[in-house]
């Protein structure tokens, strides 16, 4: 081997850099454990809310020592930025895909036009978007072109408005306007991306991840370690639409007249039954009883409005009050066109807005009547705010201080002057909720400084000031996909993932020594270096380690052994020919190189496709697999060679590449594989046929929420529960279609429901969690609260451990991407093998074998999907398993094909006899690698955690079937399609030409 010194230097430097990179992870882990110990020593478990108190104290401790030197070359703050990133499934937190509303952006660009053609095109684009992969703006253009008639995009009341006057004029044709609009939309999405980035930076989560997904208007946000999930969701989806309005005065007679008219009108258009009298027990009942006592004439009959409204507290600027449970109904009444028409002329444009509830315990909130206009625009918008910061008011309560620009200061002076003169209030509205509505007691306020007060927590004032500084989103952002993992489940994933990792590695290390003796020990050293390099590269690239990523590393352990097995088996063959040790080693490494490269390239190609089409944890799996392939090639080819050469260079040293038990294993085997191909065809046809029958006429596949949309919840209880019993109860709550099954242990279930899957918004998520809590409360420990039950709320392992939501639109996209990934993988591999072996028969054999493997795996999942005691849903992880199976099957097939090509080039086909010789010569490698990989997969299957079991089961079946198909399907199909040429002697030339061209 040439340049041994350079390789040694490179390996040393590569190893040292990896250790250096990983040292930061070691430092942060050490310091954080010290912080946890410190917090635990100061706060007893007997204290109320001790977990959050400990977290706060630990965070303060880390802040205080963050700049202190550690080991003389770094500190905690610096190390935290460079540590190995842990994914959501290992750390807990929230992962969401936000859809920026392009529809909102278009409406904003058109200045909220009332043009009927424009608005009809928007409505048509909404309908088209449900069944199309095209972007919303293209669907809008398509819809507009169909109905536009004489209307142009450059009409004065569409895009040729004042705001776009510099880029769009009246004379422009539609085709000239479209690029401008596309550019503006792209700018708005970039703006939304930057706004979200600013907000996330102020949220306080370490190692957040935010990515824009192409031109789709989707933004992926991952916040590992986020504990306050509700706060994170609100931060991400709120538009931060800050507005300042003048309120109407309490007791305005026009509103009294309106209420009487509206109440009478509602009696004729709504069907309301008089509720039974209730025992007065709460604040709401007390308030309603006061209203009833003062209005006996109204209480004796059904009054749709008066039965729900409560008089506002005197001295406030609210118009009425109501129970929170009634706000949705009241809002619906007040939005009815028939009711809006009853507003007197002096208040006809009134905007009704509810107060923001200050806590979960609040039962009654205020309703404000705001002075508005025909266009419903506020007196002042949030775009005049130049700065905002969290502060404390005169009573030392958390507040938000704002500074306005020059324009805002003038408007603020005018608004405060009007409010002072009219003795009204100024409502400060953020995202359509009134935060505060103070009066003005000292005349107009100059300077543009103002303050938002209310019953805030410090975190709330931080978030409000954060979003105001970052600015408002240019359009609404809906959460169309989310995954929330509780901290306890994340810790369990770490424990199970590393347990499987250690067990798999120990088995492989021992097996290599047991099979190859001292040579196996050298392979083990290379393997350990390989693991170090994988983690070092992951840290250097700021890649995220996920549970599937750990599975990818463990699989790499099994597959990286393959290269050493190929090399050692070839060296044994060279030794059997009577060559000296050094020559045998040199020839063995040289002859094995072609097979090693072919096998790893085919696996690498499938990993690249998986990386391109996958998302989230699946991308993590592909990343570690790709890194593992590269590092294992380096360590197997170069490091093992260095160690073997070093050992053989010593005097009197021998290296047999086997042990007493394995010396003659697989030696002199002569199985007529081709002669048995017809039996194999029949067996495969039966297996594939049964699978296809089950897929199309039997149980079929259980599609997960990734593919059909919906919400799923992993819930754990203290005691064993009956999933059938819970399913019947939840179907009564959510309607039919809710599925409940045991997930791992008997005290753990997975609930999947399509309930309101097509409705976006945090409100729906909250509603479902509340209904789940109510329905499951009797199975939970006494005293557990809704907050304790919700995912991510605390460290407890009871309640919702994980939740996943996938909207129907993104579910279709995931399904399409999965289909494209599989087809793309097959196409790429077909082309690679065609280029490599110069004959389509080899490509056909490989692709037929892969199709055979995939169909059998799908068939087994269809047949056993409802029988197996673990999750066998078809989701993104399953697609990752299928693609890995494709890569592994091709790995095996290419090694066999490579040996066939080599032997045929030397000896000819000999009517197919030499094909059998080639298969027999690779049998030791095939079985050794397959068994090693299977043992590794079984270790992950048993110890790797429930979420990986279906994934691993698919790969275990795939490895078994892939090993079989490379010998009994791929090679026979290749042989049968070349049979005429083989028998005529023409095929020999093909193989020889192929070898000469390399």
What sign does the CA torsion over 302, 304, 310, 312 have? negative
The answer to whether the CB of 477 falls within 8 A of the CB of 98 is yes
The answer to whether the CB of 800 falls within 8 A of the CB of 750 is no
Least confident residue range of 171-185, 206-220, 947-961: 206-220
* CA distance linking residue 645 with residue 650, whole number of Å: 9
* CA distance linking residue 894 with residue 597, whole number of Å: 10
Token pair for 916: 């059998």
Residue 370 confidence class, pLDDT cut points 50, 70, 90 = very high
| SS3 label, residue 944 | coil
* CA distance linking residue 905 with residue 886, whole number of Å: 28
Give φ, ψ of 394 to 5 degrees: -65, -20
Alpha-carbon dihedral of residues 959, 961, 964, 968, nearest 10 degrees?
A: -140
Token pair for 594: 């072609």
724 alpha-carbon distance from chain centroid? 30
| SS3 label, residue 790 | coil
The answer to whether the CB of 563 falls within 8 A of the CB of 228 is no
Q: Is the pLDDT of residue 479 over 70?
A: yes
Question: Over the stretch 525-561, which tens digit does the pLDDT of each residue have?
Answer: 998 999 899 989 988 888 777 777 776 776 677 667 8
| SS3 label, residue 404 | strand
* CA distance linking residue 850 with residue 885, whole number of Å: 8
The answer to whether the CB of 721 falls within 8 A of the CB of 746 is yes
Q: What is the pLDDT of residue 993?
A: 47
Q: For residue 196, which of 297, 263, 99 has the smallest C-alpha distance?
A: 99
The answer to whether the CB of 464 falls within 8 A of the CB of 451 is no
**CA geometry: angle 784, 790, 795, nearest 5 deg:** 75
| Angstrom distances, CA of residue 417 to CA of 43, 317, 420, 443 | 52, 16, 5, 6
Least confident residue range of 132-146, 150-164, 480-494: 480-494
Q: What is the pLDDT of residue 474?
A: 66
What sign does the CA torsion over 692, 694, 698, 699 have? negative
Q: How many CA atoms lie within 13 A of 969 on its CB side?
A: 27
| SS3 label, residue 625 | helix
Which residue is it, tokens 């208007």? 217
For range 261-272, the mean pLDDT: 82
* CA distance linking residue 502 with residue 81, whole number of Å: 27
* CA distance linking residue 461 with residue 392, whole number of Å: 9
The answer to whether the CB of 558 falls within 8 A of the CB of 632 is no
* CA distance linking residue 736 with residue 755, whole number of Å: 9
Q: What is the pLDDT of residue 275?
A: 47
The Cβ of residue 678 has, within 10 Å, a number of other Cβ atoms equal to: 11
| Angstrom distances, CA of residue 644 to CA of 589, 631, 635, 914 | 11, 19, 12, 32
| Angstrom distances, CA of residue 280 to CA of 286, 289, 363 | 6, 8, 14
Q: What is the pLDDT of residue 522?
A: 92
Helix (H) or strand (E) holding 711: strand 710-716
Question: Over the stretch 862-910, which tens digit does the pLDDT of each residue have?
Answer: 888 777 777 777 777 777 777 777 777 777 888 888 888 888 888 777 7
Token pair for 341: 């028409």
The answer to whether the CB of 909 falls within 8 A of the CB of 915 is yes
The Cβ of residue 645 has, within 10 Å, a number of other Cβ atoms equal to: 15
Q: Is the pLDDT of residue 854 over 60?
A: yes
Q: What is the pLDDT of residue 292?
A: 47
Residue 2 confidence class, pLDDT cut points 50, 70, 90 = low
Q: Per residue in 185-199, is it b (16+ CB within 10 Å) or e — as a string? A: beebbebbbebbeeb
Q: Is the pLDDT of residue 839 over 90?
A: no
Q: For residue 957, which of 856, 879, 846, 852 has the smallest C-alpha distance?
A: 856
Q: Is the pLDDT of residue 685 over 90?
A: yes
The edge-to-edge listing of strands for the beta sheet with 745-753 is 209-213, 218-224, 93-100, 477-485, 799-806, 710-716, 745-753, 739-743
Token pair for 517: 């003796």
Token pair for 216: 């789709």
More confident residue, 652 or 731: 731
For range 46-72, the mean pLDDT: 80
Q: What is the pLDDT of residue 227?
A: 65
| SS3 label, residue 964 | helix
| SS3 label, residue 991 | helix
First to last CA, the chain: 21
The region that residue 168 occupies, defined by phi over 0 for left and psi between -120 and 50 for alpha, beta otherwise, is beta
**CA geometry: angle 149, 153, 156, nearest 5 deg:** 105
* CA distance linking residue 499 with residue 809, whole number of Å: 38
Q: For residue 321, which of 296, 357, 360 has the smallest C-alpha distance?
A: 357
Helices then strands, each counted (H, E), the chain: 35, 23
Q: Is the pLDDT of residue 919 over 60?
A: yes
Question: Over the stretch 272-286, which tens digit does the pLDDT of each residue have?
Answer: 544 444 444 454 555
Q: Is the pLDDT of residue 457 over 80?
A: no
* CA distance linking residue 613 with residue 824, whole number of Å: 10
920 alpha-carbon distance from chain centroid? 45
Could you tell me how many residues make up the chain? 998
Q: Is the pLDDT of residue 221 over 60?
A: yes
Token pair for 993: 């030409």
Residues 6+ apart with CB under 8 A from 744: 870, 946
Q: What is the pLDDT of residue 796?
A: 52
* CA distance linking residue 817 with residue 806, whole number of Å: 15
The answer to whether the CB of 321 falls within 8 A of the CB of 367 is yes
Q: What is the pLDDT of residue 734?
A: 84
Which residue is it, tokens 């605390």? 794
Token pair for 989: 């030339």
770 alpha-carbon distance from chain centroid? 24
Q: What is the 3-state secondary structure (H, E, C) of 8-55?
A: HHHHHHHHHHHHHHHHHHHHHHHHHHHHHHHHHHHCCCCCCCHHHHHH
Q: What is the pLDDT of residue 558?
A: 67
The answer to whether the CB of 633 falls within 8 A of the CB of 563 is yes
| Angstrom distances, CA of residue 605 to CA of 201, 611, 845, 891, 964 | 36, 10, 18, 11, 22
Residue 684 confidence class, pLDDT cut points 50, 70, 90 = very high
Q: For the residues of 801-834, what is the DSSP string, one character each?
A: EEEEEE-HHHHHHHHHHHHHHHHHHHHHHHHHHH
Q: Is the pLDDT of residue 339 over 50?
A: yes
The answer to whether the CB of 621 falls within 8 A of the CB of 901 is no
* CA distance linking residue 286 with residue 501, whole number of Å: 61
Helix (H) or strand (E) holding 245: strand 242-246
Q: Is the pLDDT of residue 290 over 70?
A: no
The answer to whether the CB of 174 falls within 8 A of the CB of 152 is yes
* CA distance linking residue 403 with residue 324, whole number of Å: 33
Which residue is it, tokens 């296809």? 692
| Angstrom distances, CA of residue 986 to CA of 104, 230, 623, 993 | 67, 71, 44, 11
């Amino acid at each position: 081997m040439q340049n041994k010194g350079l390789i040694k230097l490179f390996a040393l430097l590569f190893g040292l850099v990896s250790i250096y990179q990983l040292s930061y992870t070691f430092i942060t882990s050490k310091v954080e454990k010290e912080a946890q110990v410190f917090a635990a020593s100061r706060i007893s478990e007997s204290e109320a809310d001790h977990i959050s108190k400990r977290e706060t104290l630990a965070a303060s401790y880390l802040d205080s020592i963050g700049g202190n030197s550690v080991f003389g070359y770094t500190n905690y703050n610096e190390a935290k930025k460079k540590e190995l990133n842990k994914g959501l499934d290992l750390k807990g937190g929230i992962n969401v895909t936000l859809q920026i509303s392009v529809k909102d952006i278009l409406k904003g660009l058109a200045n909220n036009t009332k043009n009927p053609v424009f608005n009809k095109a928007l409505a048509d684009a909404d309908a088209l978007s449900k069944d199309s992969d095209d972007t919303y703006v293209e669907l809008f253009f398509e819809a507009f072109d169909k109905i536009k008639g004489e209307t142009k995009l450059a009409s004065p009341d569409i895009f040729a408005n004042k705001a776009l006057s510099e880029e769009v004029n009246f004379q422009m044709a539609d085709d000239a306007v479209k690029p401008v609009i596309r550019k503006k939309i792209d700018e708005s999405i970039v703006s939304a991306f930057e706004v979200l980035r600013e907000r996330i930076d102020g949220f306080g989560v370490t190692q957040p991840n935010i990515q824009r997904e192409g031109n789709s208007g989707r933004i992926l946000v991952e916040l590992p370690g986020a504990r306050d999930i509700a706060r994170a969701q609100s931060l991400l989806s709120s538009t931060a639409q800050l507005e300042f309005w003048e309120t109407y005065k309490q007791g305005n007679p026009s509103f009294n007249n309106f209420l009487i008219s509206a109440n009478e009108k509602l009696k004729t258009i709504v069907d309301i039954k008089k509720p039974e009298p209730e025992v007065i027990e709460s604040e709401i009942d007390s308030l309603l009883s006061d209203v009833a006592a003062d209005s006996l004439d109204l209480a004796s009959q059904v009054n749709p409005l008066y039965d729900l409204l409560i008089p506002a507290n005197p001295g406030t600027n609210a118009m009425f009050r109501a129970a929170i449970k009634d706000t949705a109904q009241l809002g619906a009444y007040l939005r009815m066109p028939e009711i809006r028409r009853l507003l007197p002329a002096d208040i006809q444009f009134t905007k009704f807005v509810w107060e923001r509830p200050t806590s979960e315990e609040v039962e009654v909130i205020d309703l404000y009547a705001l002075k508005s206009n025909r266009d419903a625009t506020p007196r002042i918008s949030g775009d005049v705010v130049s700065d905002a910061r969290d502060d404390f008011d005169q009573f030392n309560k958390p507040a938000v201080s704002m500074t306005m620009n020059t324009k805002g200061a003038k408007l603020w002076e005018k608004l405060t002057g009007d409010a002072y003169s009219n003795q009204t209030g100024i409502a400060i509205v953020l995202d359509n909720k009134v935060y505060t509505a103070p009066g003005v007691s000292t005349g107009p306020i100059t300077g543009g400084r103002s303050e938002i007060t209310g019953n805030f927590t410090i975190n709330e004032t931080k978030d409000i000031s954060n979003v105001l500084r970052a600015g408002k989103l240019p359009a609404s952002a809906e959460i169309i996909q989310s995954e929330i993992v509780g901290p306890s489940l994340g810790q369990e994933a770490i424990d199970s993932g590393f347990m499987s990792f250690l067990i798999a590695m120990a088995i492989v290390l021992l097996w290599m020594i047991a099979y190859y003796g001292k040579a196996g020990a050298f392979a083990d050293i290379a393997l350990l270096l390989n693991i170090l390099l994988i983690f070092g590269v992951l840290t250097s690239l700021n890649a995220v380690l996920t549970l599937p990523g750990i599975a990818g590393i463990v699989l790499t352990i099994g597959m990286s052994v393959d290269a050493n097995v190929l090399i050692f088996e070839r060296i044994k063959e060279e030794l059997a020919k009577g060559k000296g040790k050094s020559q045998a080693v040199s020839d063995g490494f040289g002859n094995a190189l072609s097979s090693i490269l072919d096998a790893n390239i085919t696996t690498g190609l499938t990993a690249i496709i998986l990386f391109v089409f996958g998302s989230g944890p699946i991308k993590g799996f592909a990343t570690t697999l790709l890194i593992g392939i590269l590092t294992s090639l380096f360590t197997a080819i170069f490091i093992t060679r260095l160690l073997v050469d070093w050992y053989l260079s010593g005097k009197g040293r021998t290296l047999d590449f086997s042990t007493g038990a394995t010396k003659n294993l697989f030696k002199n085997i002569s199985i007529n594989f081709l002669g048995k191909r017809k039996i194999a065809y029949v067996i495969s046809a039966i297996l594939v046929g049964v699978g296809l029958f089950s897929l199309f006429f039997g149980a079929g596949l259980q599609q997960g929420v990734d593919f059909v949309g919906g919400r799923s919840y992993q819930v754990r209880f203290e005691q064993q529960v009956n999933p059938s019993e819970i399913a019947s109860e939840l179907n009564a709550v959510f309607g039919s279609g809710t599925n409940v099954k045991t997930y791992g242990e008997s005290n753990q279930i997975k609930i999947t429901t399509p309930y309101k899957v097509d409705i976006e918004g945090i409100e729906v998520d909250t509603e479902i969690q509340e209904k789940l809590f109510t329905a499951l409360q009797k199975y939970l420990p006494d005293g557990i609260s809704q907050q304790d039950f919700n995912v991510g709320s605390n460290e407890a392992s009871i309640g919702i451990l994980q939740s996943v939501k996938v909207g129907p639109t993104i579910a279709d996209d995931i399904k399409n991407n999965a289909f494209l990934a599989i087809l793309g993988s097959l196409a790429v591999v077909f082309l690679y093998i065609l280029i490599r072996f110069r004959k389509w028969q080899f490509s056909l054999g490989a692709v037929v074998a892969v199709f055979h493997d995939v169909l059998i795996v799908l068939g087994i999942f269809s047949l056993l999907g409802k029988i197996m005691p673990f999750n066998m849903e078809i989701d993104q992880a399953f697609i990752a398993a299928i693609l890995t199976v494709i890569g592994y099957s091709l790995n095996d097939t290419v090694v066999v094909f490579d040996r066939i090509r080599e032997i045929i080039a030397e000896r000819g086909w000999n009517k197919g006899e030499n094909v059998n010789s080639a298969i027999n010569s690779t049998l030791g490698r095939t079985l050794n690698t397959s068994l090693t990989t299977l043992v590794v997969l079984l270790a992950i299957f048993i110890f790797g955690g429930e979420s990986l079991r279906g994934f691993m089961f698919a790969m275990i079946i795939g490895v078994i079937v892939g090993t079989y198909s490379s010998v009994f399907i791929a090679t026979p199909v290749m042989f049968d399609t070349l049979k005429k040429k083989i028998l005529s002697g023409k095929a020999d030339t093909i193989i020889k030409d192929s070898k000469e061209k390399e």
